[in-house]
């Protein structure tokens, strides 16, 4: 018996060691335009409506990054950075008009070569057929919320139902398939929600009907001292449409008007054309009485802006509710299949978003609300539950992080840093002290000019280089970025020091795409690039 005992001990120890070395599964649960302040765990001004109880549970189980940023605040470029681990100017996808080169090095290819079973479902927005995946099904372009078409290796298919549910269904089947294969898996479950035009699942159409959503303090910002911000086209007041954005009196047989500006999004009308008669009946039963009450109220001025904000914010949060529920469904599947303890679960979104902040919707700017992106990671047995990290991280770091988690080799030409040491509670001594940003898409939707910039733990310097405009903010004293300190003589030396840091970052990342500074010619330039407007759209902003 003693001999048998001593024989078994090494075998047990070997089995335990092998179990510890088993490659972890990785789930990347990704959304579109989900602002951190619309997640309860981030303690923003929307926390009071409890928008994300399931995502909050994920944060309680893992680590929440409070200073997580994108490199380029727009859908396709953010995804390209995540895939490649390189800034936009290096991976070749700088704006949504580009096409991603799938032949280049991306982390899913490396993981697949290392023995991982890989999949991508939902919104890709990179054009072309995805590479590096054993299984994939993606939305064409932005895709639709209701009964969407999906592009698959077998061709285009129409999927009945609501997009967020459909994508999660695919993810759940993949998890079960991977378990049957006995292989570690990397799953990219990427949702359209809560992207414009914020169309919720039918089951959520009455959510928040009985409450008022808190207004952001900057809803009626007048953009004093911030010239670029005065020339955008993303205001709830002047640029959000009552029909296509807010569904007022919108029906599938509506005679659709001529396009009023390039940034007009008609996908709500297109979604209604895709709905079944039963879906349409539920939709109109929910919005019909609300539309009637709105017309009878004949709102104007600030009252109208406030009504538009409520309708918009509620639909945005309703779309997020579908995401939150489906995150719970996927996590429960991992539990039911006995995979949760060896699965890293990551929640993120491609950038932040304006939910009435500064009177806006959309993203693009280097201002905080669109620069920040959520990042929450659960890693059982590795991350201390309920952790919160304040180090500066970016979507540039995701590729290296996933490879490091899997024990795969990290290519030397990737430009980020693995987050694994931070997740384990060990901050490297050489961790970055600032982040670099560059936005390219102009002239285009919403008329946000090209700009690059630097953000440290306290300061932000932005160079709107096409028009010779600079902005500088002290985020400690001015977190809402309302006071542009550029040109303040008391800040001259500080600004010059940070400007040199910006140049150093730009050169260090090899970014030679910054255009030469031009004279300040805002009025002439904007008249030549802004779309044709109706008389109503020329009205002054509501003050």
Of 283, 309, 335, the residue at which a domain comes to its end is 309
Of 276, 309, 342, the residue at which a domain comes to its end is 309
Residue at 208 is within a domain: no
pLDDT at 529: 44
Tell whether 464 and 533 lie within a shared domain: yes
pLDDT at 19: 46
Tell whether 250 and 124 lie within a shared domain: no
pLDDT at 539: 52
Tell whether 194 and 282 lie within a shared domain: no
Tell whether 277 and 325 lie within a shared domain: no
pLDDT at 519: 63
Residue at 408 is within a domain: yes
Tell whether 153 and 123 lie within a shared domain: yes
How far is 372 from 453, CA to CA, in rounded Å? 14
Smallest CA-to-CA distance from 360 within 218, 224, 538, 484 is with 218
Of 392, 424, 456, the residue at which a domain comes to its end is 424
Tell whether 179 and 49 lie within a shared domain: yes
- Domain residues for the domain of 77 are 22-199+313-424
25-31 vs 185-190, strand pairing mode: parallel
Domain count, the chain: 3
DSSP letter (8 states) at residue 492: H
Question: Which CATH number covers residue 523?
Answer: 3.30.1120.10
pLDDT at 523: 45
pLDDT at 254: 76
How far is 17 from 139, CA to CA, in rounded Å? 42
Tell whether 319 and 376 lie within a shared domain: yes
Tell whether 361 and 510 lie within a shared domain: no
Tell whether 66 and 38 lie within a shared domain: yes
pLDDT at 253: 81
Task: Give the alpha-carbon dihedral of 39, 40, 43, 49, to 10 degrees.
Answer: 110
Question: Which CATH number covers residue 368?
Answer: 3.40.720.10
3-state secondary structure of 524: helix
135-138 vs 117-122, strand pairing mode: parallel
Q: In what order do the strands lie in the sheet with 459-464?
A: 434-439, 451-456, 459-464, 469-474
290-314 CB burial, b ≥16 within 10 A, e <16: bbeebeeeeeeeeebbbbbbbbbbb
Query: pTM of the entire structure?
Result: 0.94
Residue at 172 is within a domain: yes
**Strand-pair partners of 461:** 454, 472
Query: What pLDDT, in 10s, does the model give residues 452-474?
Result: 999 999 999 999 998 899 999 99
Tell whether 54 and 163 lie within a shared domain: yes
Residue at 403 is within a domain: yes
Sign of CA dihedral 353, 241, 316, 293: positive
pLDDT at 15: 42
Tell whether 47 and 190 lie within a shared domain: yes
Residue at 224 is within a domain: no
Query: What pLDDT, in 10s, does the model give residues 23-48?
Result: 999 999 999 999 999 999 999 999 99
Residue at 506 is within a domain: yes
Tell whether 264 and 399 lie within a shared domain: no
Residue at 148 is within a domain: yes
3-state secondary structure of 167: helix
pLDDT at 251: 85
pLDDT at 323: 98
- Low pLDDT (below 70) residues in the chain: 1-21, 518-540
Residue at 177 is within a domain: yes
């Amino acid at each position: 018996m003693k001999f048998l005992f001593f024989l078994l001990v090494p075998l047990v120890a070997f089995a335990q060691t092998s179990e510890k070395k088993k490659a972890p599964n990785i789930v990347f649960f990704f959304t579109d335009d989900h602002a951190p302040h619309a997640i309860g765990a981030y303690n923003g001004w929307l926390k009071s409506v409890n928008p994300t109880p399931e995502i909050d549970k994920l944060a309680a189980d893992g680590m929440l990054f409070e200073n997580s940023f994108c490199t380029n605040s727009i859908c396709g470029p953010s995804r390209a950075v995540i895939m490649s681990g390189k800034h936009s100017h290096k991976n070749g996808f700088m704006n949504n008009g580009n096409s991603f080169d799938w032949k280049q090095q991306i982390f899913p290819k490396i993981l697949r070569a290392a023995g991982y079973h890989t999949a991508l479902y939902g919104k890709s927005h990179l054009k072309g057929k995805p590479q590096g995946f054993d299984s994939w099904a993606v939305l064409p372009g932005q895709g639709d919320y209701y009964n969407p078409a999906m592009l698959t290796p077998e061709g285009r298919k129409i999927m009945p139902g609501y997009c967020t549910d459909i994508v999660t269904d695919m993810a759940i089947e993949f998890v079960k398939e991977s378990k049957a294969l006995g292989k570690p898996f990397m799953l990219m479950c990427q949702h359209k929600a809560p992207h414009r035009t914020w169309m919720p699942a039918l089951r959520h159409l009455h959510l928040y009907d009985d409450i008022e959503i808190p207004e952001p303090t900057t809803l009626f910002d007048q953009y004093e001292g911030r010239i670029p911000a005065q020339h955008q086209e993303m205001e709830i007041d002047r640029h959000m449409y009552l029909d296509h954005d807010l569904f007022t009196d919108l029906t599938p047989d509506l005679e659709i008007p001529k396009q009023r500006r390039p940034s007009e999004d008609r996908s709500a009308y297109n979604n209604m054309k895709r709905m079944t008669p039963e879906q349409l009946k539920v939709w109109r039963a929910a919005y019909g009485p609300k539309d009637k009450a709105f017309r009878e109220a004949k709102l104007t001025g600030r009252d109208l802006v406030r009504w538009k904000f409520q309708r918009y914010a509620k639909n945005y949060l309703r779309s997020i509710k579908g995401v939150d529920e489906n995150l719970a469904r996927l996590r429960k599947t991992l539990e039911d299949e006995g995979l949760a303890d060896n699965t890293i679960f990551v929640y993120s979104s491609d950038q932040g978003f304006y939910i009435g902040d500064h009177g806006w919707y959309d993203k693009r700017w280097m201002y905080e609300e669109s620069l920040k992106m959520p990042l929450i990671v659960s890693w059982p047995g590795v991350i201390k539950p309920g952790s919160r990290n304040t180090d500066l991280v970016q979507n540039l770091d995701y590729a290296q992080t996933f490879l490091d988690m899997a024990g795969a080799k990290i290519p030397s030409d990737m430009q980020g840093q693995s987050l694994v040491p931070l997740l384990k509670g060990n901050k490297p001594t050489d961790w970055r002290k600032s982040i670099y940003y560059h936005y390219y898409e102009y002239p285009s939707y919403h008329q946000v000019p090209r700009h690059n910039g630097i953000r440290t733990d306290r300061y932000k310097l932005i160079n709107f280089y096409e028009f010779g405009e600079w902005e500088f903010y002290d985020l400690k004293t001015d977190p809402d970025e309302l006071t542009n300190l550029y040109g303040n003589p008391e800040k001259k030396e500080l600004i010059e020091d940070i400007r040199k840091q910006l140049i150093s970052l730009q050169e260090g990342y090899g970014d030679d795409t910054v255009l030469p500074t031009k004279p300040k010619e805002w009025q002439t330039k904007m008249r030549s690039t802004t779309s044709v407007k109706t008389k109503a759209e020329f009205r002054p902003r509501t003050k």
